[in-house]
């Protein structure tokens, strides 16, 4: 007989991708457990979850204003209605457990599971827990964290398990060495030239885009090629800047794209990556053992990207550059010594891979049947 485990994690790829990866791992581990998702229809999960083949319930979930707003007055009532709706779904589905990954939709699922006394697992991707998980932790039977340093941020540290951050199957199983030549050729790059991959998320990172363009004439005689994903929101202005700077003189070979759908190819092509320090990016880089230069987004809640980046840097797999310090010259002075030293690249790659947890999805998934076997501590 199939039993339902309710999953929730929405709003951003950093919540949705780990949730989907864990759901697939749970199916492989316990075929009689069916992951069913709860989310918001017009957010990312509304598209990605059904596309991944899972049942999806759309619910109305309020977001919490970050600044004083009249919406704060309506928030308590909206949250009560959302919790009641989700609790009804849990009953209707006959759910036996719940797993949440952060984002606003996680709160009503966690609260509903607590009301029904269902085993609850929450997963925190970042070094600093988000608001939804800080609230849900009071009801959680197990708290899965990505890095050991997160444990002390939860009051019930004895319920924490260091699992890593689940990554997509197609990334976790990637053979970069076997795919490197073909991947570089698909991006119009030479197969035998050191390759720097630069990206800043789906919308782009303006400071990173400006710095990589400004670095064009500063690499000297270094034999280098750059794959730059500008992001959708900043593509036009960045592509124009690239066209202009290329007219100024010689520099590296550069392939400029708006967005990379197949990140596996981009990772396979890269020797070194420059990017933000979101939890998903770091999990994928470290699962594959890719050295990186990380530029944490300075306005992230509780500066969690800086904490994420420093965790990987302490392990030896990354170098951190503050957003306010980033310009073309700093970028070159940071990246050139790494790219020019194969031994350093190799050491950083090994350190990154040692930090990574490609088995993270299975680690989180195992917590569910373990709780079902022994029953909730509640």
CA distance 262 to 268: 10
Give me the percent of the chain exceeding a pLDDT of 90.
75
Cβ–Cβ under 8 Å, residues 118 and 91 = no
Residue 54's pLDDT band (boundaries 50, 70, 90)? very high
Instruction: Give every CB contact of residue 360 below 8 A, 6+ residues apart in sequence.
Output: 18, 21, 146, 163, 164, 165, 166, 167, 283, 287
Residue 193 is given by DSSP the state S
Fold of 3-167+358-374: Rossmann fold (3.40.50)
Backbone angles phi, psi at 284, to 5 degrees: -70, -45
- Residue 267: closest CA among 335, 171, 358: 171
Give me the percent of the chain exceeding a pLDDT of 70.
94
CA distance 125 to 90: 24
Predicted confidence at residue 62, as pLDDT, reads: 56
The answer regarding whether domain 171-355 maps to CATH 3.40.50.2000 reads yes
Residue 314's pLDDT band (boundaries 50, 70, 90)? very high
Instruction: Report helix angle 342-355 to 279-288, nearest 10.
Output: 120
Residue 52's pLDDT band (boundaries 50, 70, 90)? very high
CA distance 57 to 39: 6
Predicted confidence at residue 14, as pLDDT, reads: 83
Six-digit token pair at 87? 């609790």
Predicted confidence at residue 63, as pLDDT, reads: 58
Whole-model pTM over 0.85: yes
Q: Compute the average pLDDT of residues 213-233.
A: 94
- Which range has the worst mean pLDDT, 68-77, 271-280, 283-292, 303-312? 68-77
Mean pLDDT rounded to a whole number for the chain: 91
Predicted confidence at residue 301, as pLDDT, reads: 83
For residue 154, CA distances in Å to 144, 168, 331, 347 come to 11, 27, 36, 33
For residue 282, CA distances in Å to 246, 363, 365 come to 31, 18, 20
Strand order from edge to edge, sheet including 272-275: 253-257, 225-229, 195-199, 272-275, 292-294, 318-320
pLDDT at 203 over 90: no
Could you check whether 3-167+358-374 and 171-355 share the same CATH topology?
yes
Instruction: Give every CB contact of residue 168 below 8 A, 6+ residues apart in sequence.
Output: 17, 20, 21, 284
pLDDT at 244 over 70: yes
Q: Compute the average pLDDT of residues 214-243.
A: 94
Predicted confidence at residue 77, as pLDDT, reads: 58
Domain extent listing, the chain: 3-167+358-374, 171-355
Predicted confidence at residue 374, as pLDDT, reads: 79
What is the tens place of the pLDDT at every residue in 117-150?
999 999 999 988 988 899 999 999 999 999 888 9
Residue 13's pLDDT band (boundaries 50, 70, 90)? confident
Q: Compute the average pLDDT of residues 11-15.
A: 81
């Amino acid at each position: 007989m199939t039993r339902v485990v309710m999953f929730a994690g929405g709003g951003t790829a950093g919540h949705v991708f780990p949730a989907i990866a864990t759901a697939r791992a749970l199916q492989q581990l316990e075929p009689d457990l069916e992951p069913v998702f709860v989310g918001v229809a017009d957010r990312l999960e509304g598209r990605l979850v059904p596309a991944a083949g899972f049942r999806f319930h759309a619910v109305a979930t309020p977001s919490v204003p970050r600044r004083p707003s009249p919406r704060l007055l309506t928030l308590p009532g909206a949250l009560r209605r959302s919790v009641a709706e989700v609790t009804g779904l849990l009953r209707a589905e006959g759910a036996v457990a719940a797993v949440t990954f952060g984002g606003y939709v996680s709160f009503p699922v966690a609260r509903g599971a607590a009301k029904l006394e269902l085993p609850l697992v929450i997963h925190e991707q970042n070094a600093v827990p988000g608001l939804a998980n800080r609230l849900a932790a009071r009801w959680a039977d197990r708290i899965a964290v990505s890095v050991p340093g997160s444990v002390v941020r939860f009051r019930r540290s004895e319920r924490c398990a260091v699992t890593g951050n689940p990554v997509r199957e197609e990334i976790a199983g990637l053979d970069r060495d076997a795919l490197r030549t073909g991947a570089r050729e698909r991006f119009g790059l030479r197969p035998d030239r050191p390759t720097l991959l630069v990206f800043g998320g789906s919308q782009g990172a303006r400071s990173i885009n400006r710095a990589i363009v400004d670095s064009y004439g500063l690499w000297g005689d270094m034999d280098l090629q750059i794959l730059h994903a500008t992001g959708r929101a900043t593509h036009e202005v960045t592509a124009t800047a690239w066209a202009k700077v290329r007219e100024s003189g010689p520099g590296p070979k550069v392939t400029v794209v708006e967005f990379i759908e197949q990140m596996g190819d981009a990772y396979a092509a890269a020797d070194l990556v420059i990017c933000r320090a979101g939890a998903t990016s770091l999990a994928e880089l470290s699962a594959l053992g890719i050295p990186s230069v990380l530029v944490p987004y300075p306005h992230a809640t509780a500066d969690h990207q800086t904490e994420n980046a420093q965790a990987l840097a302490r392990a030896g797999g990354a170098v951190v550059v503050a957003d306010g310090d980033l310009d073309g010259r700093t970028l070159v002075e940071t990246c050139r010594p790494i790219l020019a030293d194969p031994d350093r690249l190799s050491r950083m790659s090994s350190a990154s891979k040692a930090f990574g947890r490609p088995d993270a999805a299975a680690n989180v998934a195992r917590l569910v049947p373990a709780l079902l076997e022994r029953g909730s501590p509640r």
